[in-house]
Structure 1
């Protein structure tokens, strides 16, 4: 594959699937700086993966795999450094002025998704993006029936928590 072909595929995928990648980023990284770092890591991995793509699955499934695997690896590295970064994150939040109105329910939902274990977090994101149980099973590496069980448990957990927070619309 030539570099021109690789560039074209990369740019096309970024245009088409940027929102998908950002959903993964937002679920795995909570601060703006971390989200930017994780997004960069993911797009680097996407770039490197293009020659290996054999079209045995859809582009979105391939990109989800890359994004989730990169996010999981990134999260492991970041947990090792969490204590030293926390004070910087607090200072940055104080210094930044937020001008965008934030939907409290969406913020709450992403915070709750962030609290889930890695597999449940991945399944939740895939569900929100409308992937079928079969596609989810392929991406996550567990059976379709196990996907169904996990989704039901996640939904019940989120509904219970939303009632406690008075977010009945979630």
Structure 2
């Protein structure tokens, strides 16, 4: 594969899967600076993976797998350094320009997804993007029946939390 072909594939995938990448980033990183770092790491991994893409799966499955695996690895590594960043994170809101109020329900959902373990977080994102159990099993490397059990448990957990008073700040 030539560098020009790799550039074209990367540009095409970035255009096609930008929203997918942002969802993964938002589910695995909360502060804006961390989201930027994680997005950059995912993009690097996607870039490096292009020459090894053999089209045995769809490009969506390929990019999702890379994004989720990179996010899981990144969040595990970042968890070790959380205490050292506490003071920066408290200053972060002062450094940002005020923006339009985000939908509190979406913020609540991302907060809840962020609290799940890495596999369940990945399942939530894949489920919300409409992937079949078979596709999810391929991406995550677990059985379809296990996918179904985990998704049902996550749904029940989120429904229970959503019925609690003040579940998303209202």
Same fold (TM over 0.5): yes
Question: Does residue 7 of the first structure (1) align with residue 11 of the second (2)?
Answer: no
Which position in structure 2 is the counterpart of 1:65? 65
Which position in structure 2 is the counterpart of 1:151? 151
- The CA distance in 2 between the partners of 1:88 and 1:82, in whole Å, is 10
Give deviations 1:26-70, integer Å, cap 9, x for gaps: 000001000000000000000000000000101110001100111
Change (3 A) 1:14 1:120: same
Q: CA RMSD in A?
A: 1.2
Give deviations 1:99-119, integer Å, cap 9, x for gaps: 122100100000000000111
Q: Secondary structure at the match of 2:55?
A: coil
Which position in structure 2 is the counterpart of 1:95? 95
Gapped runs of 5+ residues in structure 2? none
Which position in structure 2 is the counterpart of 1:53? 53
Deviation at 1:73, TM superposition (A): 1.0
Which position in structure 2 is the counterpart of 1:39? 39
Show the 5 A alignment for 1:82-161.
82-161=82-161
Give deviations 1:93-149, integer Å, cap 9, x for gaps: 133232122100100000000000111100000000000000001111111111111
Change (3 A) 1:165 1:67: farther
TM score, norm. by length of structure 2: 0.95
Deviation at 1:76, TM superposition (A): 1.3
TM score, norm. by length of structure 1: 0.95
* Moved segments of 4+, more than 2 Å: 94-98, 165-168
Paired residues in the alignment total: 168
